[in-house]
Amino acid sequence: MSYIEEKYAEKILAILDNLSSVEQDIRELLEEKTIKNSDKIATLCAQCNKELNLILKKYYPEIKSLDYKLQIKSRMKFYFELIDKLTDFIRSIENFQKLDDKYYELIIKFIYDKEFLISGKYTDISTQELIIFYDKKTRAHLEEILEKKLMIHDRAFFTIGPLEEEIKKIATLAGADEVVIFRDEEMINKLNFIEHPRSLIHYSVYSEDEELLKEIGTEIKIYLVSKGYEAMIFITELSDIPTGREMLTGSIITNASLNPD
């Protein structure tokens, strides 16, 4: 490991350690179960997001060690999921001005389960993401899917209904320049790192703003979860897949656990 990589890894882990106090402040505010704390929670959420973006833009690109990558990615995934939950929490307060106590309790439990989630769920997901990036066979399958997508451009990959139209609308409003929903069972099933894969949602931006890319993915994921899907977002490791254009790309892979409206 180079001197720079070691120092940057230390900085990243120090930032993540400091975020532990932020998450505890959020938990204490939530435990009061009052909408009066929503502005304070929003401020802490923004602080958390700012620190994570600093890691992604300044320090993480220098990390080559897979052990460090796994450790960092799994911890960051917890915080990104927490930000998603808090974003939805704040929006709900803005819309309804009142929340059931169970809403607070779900996020509080999520924070209490931090170490369990990081060592289990988020380490597993991060491991699979790294496999995608470094395993040539798996990466080739994904590139094959994306190459096929690019060849047929705006063609609908399965019957376009309200769900698919809404996904495209959400992504476009969030800033995506291109959105394609791909479903080819033979191709998608090659991505066997997610159980029962259903579709690949691929989106692009003509920008160097990685934060915009993440925001788009988060908006889509929040919507998918509200409709009963489980979704995995791939941004950082897949943004360098060649498309022949100057753009950043992100992907979301969903499983088949759709609950009827």
3-state secondary structure of 36: helix
Average pLDDT of 130-157? Answer: 57
> 226 and 152 in one domain?
yes
Binned at pLDDT 50, 70 and 90, residue 190 comes out as low
96 vs 94: CA distance, rounded Å: 6
- Which of 194 and 116 is assigned the larger pLDDT? 116
Q: How many domains does the chain have?
A: 2
Number of other CB atoms surrounding residue 19 within 10 Å: 21
CATH number at residue 245: 3.40.109
Average pLDDT of 150-172? Answer: 62
Q: Residue 167: which domain range?
A: 136-255
Mean pLDDT, the chain, as a whole number? 76
> 35 and 82 in one domain?
yes
| pLDDT of 159 strictly over 70 | no
| pLDDT of 158 strictly over 50 | no
| pLDDT of 111 strictly over 70 | yes
Largest distance between two CA atoms of the chain: 54
> 117 and 206 in one domain?
no
- Phi and psi of 122, rounded to 5°? -75, -30
Most confident of 97-106, 141-150, 209-218, 225-234: 97-106
- Which of 136 and 103 is assigned the larger pLDDT? 103
Binned at pLDDT 50, 70 and 90, residue 249 comes out as low
> 192 and 235 in one domain?
yes
- Which of 233 and 48 is assigned the larger pLDDT? 48
- Which of 119 and 246 is assigned the larger pLDDT? 119
Helix axes 123-134, 136-152, angle to 10 degrees: 80
DSSP state of 61: G
Are 228 and 254 within 8 A, CB to CB?
no
122 vs 114: CA distance, rounded Å: 10
> 149 and 63 in one domain?
no
> 119 and 7 in one domain?
yes
pLDDT for 163: 76
Q: Which residues of 204-228 are buried (b: 16+ CB within 10 A; e: fewer)?
A: bbeeeebebbbbbbbbbbbbbeeee
Tell me, what amino acid is at 162? Answer: P
Number of other CB atoms surrounding residue 175 within 10 Å: 16
pLDDT for 17: 94
pLDDT for 41: 93
| pLDDT of 150 strictly over 80 | no
pLDDT for 26: 96
> 141 and 93 in one domain?
no
Return the ∠ at Cα 57 (arms to 233 and 38), rounded to 5°: 65
Binned at pLDDT 50, 70 and 90, residue 202 comes out as confident
The neighbouring-strand residues paired with 121 are none
Average pLDDT of 151-171? Answer: 62
> 12 and 120 in one domain?
yes
Share of the chain above pLDDT 70, in %: 69
Residue 81 lies in a domain: yes
> What are the residue ranges of helices labelled H in the chain?
3-31, 38-54, 66-96, 101-112, 114-117, 123-134, 136-152, 162-174, 185-188, 210-226
Helix axes 66-96, 101-112, angle to 10 degrees: 170
101 vs 23: CA distance, rounded Å: 19
CA atoms within 13 A on the CB side of 53: 14
Tell me, what amino acid is at 126? Answer: S
What pTM did the predictor assign?
A: 0.61
